[in-house]
């Protein structure tokens, strides 16, 4: 069936009933309504509450049945016991989709909650598609719909879909994404998945032209076989990045009381990631880091990296970090080492790969030549270079304050130029450098530079470990995707 | 031999010759001299340079031989070829110790550098103890001596010794340490270790009353057998936290060109950490996190943790993170679950452990009761609780701005009170929450709250993963130390 057409009323509704919004502007329902208004929802909004009245300048209807004209989507936040009744109203009114934010269903582990959730499932089969319960619902900029708190989420769409069983992570990832330059086609928090589940959403975003990269947070899939079959298929054409949580004993117990699902078996998941091109990550941070990498790195991103930085201990750790995630740090051939020998002083440096440029900060012309030499090596696919700009920003190293801006500008223009000249991706590590309160100004400058780099499609990471892992995830994906029969 | 007496002239010198300081204040030698002055070195400083002249108001002596009166320590930064000559002058003058910052010795991999380093070894045997070459030397607040750049390092001593083969990490760790509330007895960057090596320094800090916790960054020990024997012995009475780098293939290659040492065999190191109470860490961050944990957590810190936070996905990840580092998250007995059920709403929460309090931020009285219930469980040794205060600081959640301070104060006083009442350590996770430039104010507030917590000996971490790992390292140490024959 065409998932796009089926779910379109949910993702691009023209009319939305907000069931549970009341005259009290501090209650969840009204705050949700305000988030939709703040976000700039373009269609019609109908607050619904048995007690009537009005809120935020809108008339409150006693029931969905009383709303004039067609309703595409119902956002439902009444207490669990009332949800089946509201859904009956929706069915009667021909509403095509509903999001049920309310919790207190199967995830409680109590008979009552489980029975209520079964009721929802039965109702869904009669002609309405459900998201939730126990979820945060959908943020879809192109449809003008957001979740709570999300009134201030970016209004522009992007190529990333995030499908998550946890509502908290929907919000956290959307926030985290800003600093990573990530924009979304859809964020979908689907909670207990009594009707629509991870497989449905994966099928949907696979067909969705807006979506180029799929990120997922999963606890226990409802429809494991179908999901795994779909992952294998979708990951051939779009990167699918999956954080599967709850695979430890304590984690599995937490999964049961969070989304009433079964976490499953580590061996099955290992097999999935081995046999498909899907990418496995282990944290929200790695999910964001890897997404940024996919957004900014080309399919030619390979596992053979040149690592450039200042301070020998850093190089050793860099080499370890690369090796541990499956990146190769090939020793440079003799002629490349000679080039580097001509640029760097003999003492306190290393020219083999990793390249130790001898100091955390070197003049732009030295940095440029080091990158040129590394990029010119045939054995190198990808360059990871550390710029310890926090020393310059904090005034500890580098030129006098008057010359600082020029010095920084000269350093920052180099990576994109090297990338374009040699056709090899360059990833920059921008260390944070210290978390004392007095380092906040330097940190402000660092975030600004990170954003300048993102504008040039140069991904940056605060540590070499995170950079290496993100590069490895991208390189492995394109390698695996090409290898599949 | 008594290492304290032998090395005292190096750590607590009364007179220091700075060999290589010149009239040019921008050169390394003069910047080093200025760092010593800025740091407030209390003894006499004698710049030495063949060309004489003066610098920073001090007369420059043409040679160490020309300095009037006894000299305890020589800090040497002349080019490699001149170092043996300077050491001869030192011997002639009865100087007891020297730090050689200069690089260009065995780490170059060239015959010339290796030969020069052998010369230093021969000279050392004639009656002078050497640190380096290719190092950053010693930062010792009680001796008034610092390294470069370290003129602004804290002047007060603390109980932590850091012994590092990398000079860059000496500086980075000292900086990082500030935000962690870590103060040092000694930081020792010893580079190529031509004379004094990791074993000597470990023996020294083991005898040193100022030192209660030992942190180490190691590439390749010079005296592996003696070092391992010492680690086993010292770790019985003082925590020894070791980051051993260079154990991957690429890492080992980087070690050779950094400090001219051999990284060794992973199996040998694994055995060391298995058979002794020494703690193994994998990054500078974990080294700092673990050191903070040792500084603030008691020997009763155990592996059975209660995990408290808001947002179910977070609980699942928390359970996974604890399990992965060897912490137990025991399900609470029925009566504790009932206590929690009385405090938390039935929907959207979890009372089993991890405890999902239902929202990232809850009122102080709810947070207090949740912590009380968890701390009262017999199956719990240690409490890890997340406070997503960044939502309050950024104004996204919590009370109106006028009531914010009071709300925060009420939340912040709880952990230490619970700890003191139940005699169980409490560790707080303070998430960063976002790295957009507009979140900097919230981040400033977060760092201030972190420091308030540190004043109460409550360690905080920005992520649950980091908190869990630090707690696990401490718990494992005290468990292992008690178990050793």
Q: Which residues of A335-345 are buried (b: 16+ CB within 10 A; e: fewer)?
A: ebbebbeebbe
Rounded to an integer, the average pLDDT of A27-52 is 95
The whole-angstrom separation of Cα B179 and Cα B160 is 15
Interface A-B, measured as beta-carbon pairs within 8 A, has a size of 217
Say whether B254 and A104 touch across the interface (CB within 8 A): no
The pLDDT of residue B251: 87
pLDDT of residue A144: 96
Percent of chain A exceeding pLDDT 90 equals: 81
Cβ-Cβ contacts under 8 Å, A348 against chain B: 103-104, 134
Helix, strand, coil shares of chain A, percent, nearest 5, are 45, 15, 35
* Rounded average pLDDT over A69-92: 97
- Mean pLDDT value across residues B98-118: 94
Percent of chain A with pLDDT over 70: 100
- According to the model, what pLDDT value does residue A1 have? 58
Chain A interface disruption, residue of B254, B261, B323, most A CBs within 10 A: B254
Q: What is the mean pLDDT of residues A323-347?
A: 95
Q: At A418, is the secondary structure helix, strand, or coil?
A: helix
Peptide bond into B149 cis (omega under 30): yes
Q: How wide is the angle at C-alpha B62 spanned by C-alphas B61 and B64, nearest 5°?
A: 70
Tens digits of per-residue pLDDT, B151-167? 889 999 999 999 999 99
Cis peptide before B392 (omega within 30 of 0): no
pLDDT digits (tens, 9 = 90+) for B17-39: 999 999 998 899 999 999 999 99
Give the model's pLDDT for residue A248: 85
Do residue B104 and residue A347 have CB atoms under 8 angstroms apart? yes
Q: Which residues of B58-69 are buried (b: 16+ CB within 10 A; e: fewer)?
A: bebbebbeebee
Task: Tell me the pLDDT of chain B averaged across its residues.
Answer: 94
- 3-state class of A31 per DSSP? helix
The predicted pLDDT at position B313 comes to 72
Taking an 8 Å cut-off on Cβ atoms, the answer to whether B108 and A347 are in contact is yes
Each residue's pLDDT tens digit, A242-277: 999 998 888 888 888 787 777 778 888 999 999 999
**What pLDDT was estimated at residue A220?**
87
Q: Is the pLDDT of residue B338 over 90?
A: yes
| Interchain contact B249–A (C-beta under 8 A) | yes
Inter-CA distances, A224 with A269, B378, B406, Å: 10, 38, 48
Please give the average per-residue pLDDT across B71-76, as a whole number.
98
In this predicted model, what pLDDT tens digit does every residue of A316-328 receive, in sequence order? 999 999 999 999 9
CA angle B186, B189, B193 (to 5 degrees): 125
| Partner residue facing A440 (CB), from B311, B314, B444 | B444
Please name the residue of chain B whose CA is at the shortest distance from the CA of residue A447: B437
Distance (Å) from the C-alpha of residue B23 to the closest C-alpha of chain A? 20
**Higher model confidence: residue A108 or residue B21?**
B21
CA nearest neighbour of A315 among B147, B8, B257, B151: B257
Instruction: Please state the separation of Cα B268 from the chain's center in Å.
Output: 24
The pLDDT, as a whole number, for residue A387 is 96
Taking CB atoms and an 8 Å cutoff, what residues of chain A touch B329? 250, 253
> Average per-residue pLDDT in chain A?
94
pLDDT value at position A290?
98
Average pLDDT over residues A275-295: 96
* Pick from A195-199, A211-215, B439-443: least confident: B439-443
**Is pLDDT of B257 > 80?**
no
pLDDT at A48: 98
pLDDT of amino acid A205 = 97
CB contact under 8 A, A259 and B447: no
Q: Give mean pLDDT, residues B200-224.
A: 95
Radius of gyration of chain B (CA): 26
Is there a contact between B324 and A266 (Cβ–Cβ < 8 Å)? no
Q: Is B472 on the interface with A (CB under 8 A)?
A: no
Could A315 and B254 be called an inter-chain contact, meaning their C-beta atoms sit closer than 8 Å? yes
The 10 Å Cβ neighbour count of residue A21 is 30
In this structure, are residues B145 and B16 in contact, taking their beta carbons and an 8 Å threshold? yes
Pairwise CB contact (< 8 Å): B254 & A350: yes
For residue A138, the cross-strand partners are A188
B31 touches chain A (CB under 8 A): no
Closest CA to A192 of B331, B338, B346, B347: B347
B314 contacts chain A (CB < 8 A): yes
Secondary structure (3-state) at A272: helix
Average pLDDT over residues A289-313: 94
Q: Is residue A366 predicted with pLDDT exceeding 90?
A: yes
HSE value, Cβ hemisphere, 13 Å, CA-based, for A338: 3
Instruction: Judge contact between A398 and A404, C-beta under 8 A.
Output: yes
What pLDDT shows up at residue B254?
Answer: 84
**Does residue B462 register a pLDDT over 70?**
yes
Q: Are B61 and B67 in contact (CB under 8 A)?
A: yes
Whole-angstrom distance, CA of residue A334 vs CA of residue B260: 20
Would an 8 Å CB–CB cutoff place A312 in contact with chain B? yes
| B174 phi/psi in degrees, rounded to 5 | -60, -40
On the question of pLDDT at B437 being above 80, the answer is no
Q: Is the pLDDT of residue B1 over 70?
A: no
Whether the per-residue pLDDT at B259 is higher than 80: the answer is: no
Whether omega for the bond prior to residue B478 falls within 30 degrees of 0, making it cis, is no
Strand partners, B384: B307, B427
A313, A323, A332, A409, A468 from A316: Cα distances, Å: 5, 11, 16, 29, 14
A166 min Cα distance to partner chain B (Å):
5
* 8 Å CB contact between A333 and A380: no
B175 contacts chain A (CB < 8 A): yes
CA distance B9 to chain A (A): 27
List of chain B residues whose C-beta atoms are within 8 Å of the C-beta of residue A329: 250, 253
pLDDT reported for residue B176 = 86
- The confidence score (pLDDT) of residue B294 equals 98
**Quick one: which of B79, B171, B119, B148 has its CA closest to A346?**
B79
């Amino acid at each position: 069936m065409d998932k796009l057409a089926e779910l379109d009323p949910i993702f691009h509704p023209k009319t939305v009933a907000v069931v549970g919004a009341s005259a009290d502007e501090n209650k969840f329902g009204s705050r949700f309504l305000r988030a939709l208004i703040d976000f700039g929802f373009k269609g019609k909004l109908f607050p619904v509450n048995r007690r009537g009245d009005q809120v935020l300048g809108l008339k409150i209807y006693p029931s969905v049945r009383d709303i004039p004209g067609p309703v595409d989507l119902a956002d439902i936040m009444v207490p669990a016991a009332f949800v089946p009744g509201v859904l009956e109203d929706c069915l009667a009114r021909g509403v095509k989709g509903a999001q049920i934010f309310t919790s207190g269903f199967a995830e409680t582990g109590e008979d009552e909650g489980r029975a209520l959730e079964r009721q929802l499932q039965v109702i869904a089969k009669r002609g309405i598609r459900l998201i939730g319960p126990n979820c945060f619902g959908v943020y879809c900029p192109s449809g003008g719909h957001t979740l709570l708190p999300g009134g201030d989420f970016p209004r522009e769409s992007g190529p990333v879909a995030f499908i998550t069983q946890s509502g908290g992570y929907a919000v956290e990832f959307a926030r985290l994404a800003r600093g990573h330059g990530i924009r979304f086609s859809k964020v979908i928090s689907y909670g207990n998945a009594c009707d629509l589940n991870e497989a449905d959403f994966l099928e949907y975003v696979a067909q969705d032209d807006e979506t180029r990269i799929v990120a997922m947070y999963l606890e226990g899939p409802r429809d494991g076989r179908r999901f795994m079959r779909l992952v294998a298929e979708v990951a051939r054409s779009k990167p699918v990045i999956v954080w599967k949580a709850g695979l430890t004993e304590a984690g599995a117990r937490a999964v049961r009381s969070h989304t009433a699902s079964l976490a499953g078996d580590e061996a099955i998941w290992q097999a999935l990631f081995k046999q498909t091109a899907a990418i496995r990550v282990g944290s929200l941070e790695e999910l964001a880091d890897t997404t940024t990498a996919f957004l900014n790195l080309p399919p030619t991103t390979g596992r053979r990296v040149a690592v450039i930085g200042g301070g020998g201990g850093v190089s050793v750790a860099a080499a370890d970090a690369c090796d541990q995630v499956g990146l190769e740090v090939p020793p440079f051939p003799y002629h490349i080492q000679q080039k580097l020998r001509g640029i760097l002083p003999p003492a306190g440096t290393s020219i083999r790969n990793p390249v130790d440029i001898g100091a955390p900060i070197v003049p732009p012309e030295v940095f440029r030549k080091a990158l040129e030499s590394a990029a010119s090596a045939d054995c190198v696919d990808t360059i990871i270079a550390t710029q310890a700009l926090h020393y310059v920003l904090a005034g500890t190293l580098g030129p006098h304050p008057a010359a600082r801006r020029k010095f920084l500008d000269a350093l920052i223009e180099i990576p994109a130029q090297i990338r374009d000249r040699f056709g090899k991706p360059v990833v920059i590590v921008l260390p944070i450098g210290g978390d004392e309160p007095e380092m906040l100004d330097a940190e402000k400058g660092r975030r600004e530079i990170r954003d300048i780099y993102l504008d040039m499609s140069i991904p940056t990471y605060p540590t070499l470990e995170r950079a290496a892992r993100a590069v490895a995830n991208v390189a492995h994906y394109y390698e695996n995707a090409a290898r599949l029969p």
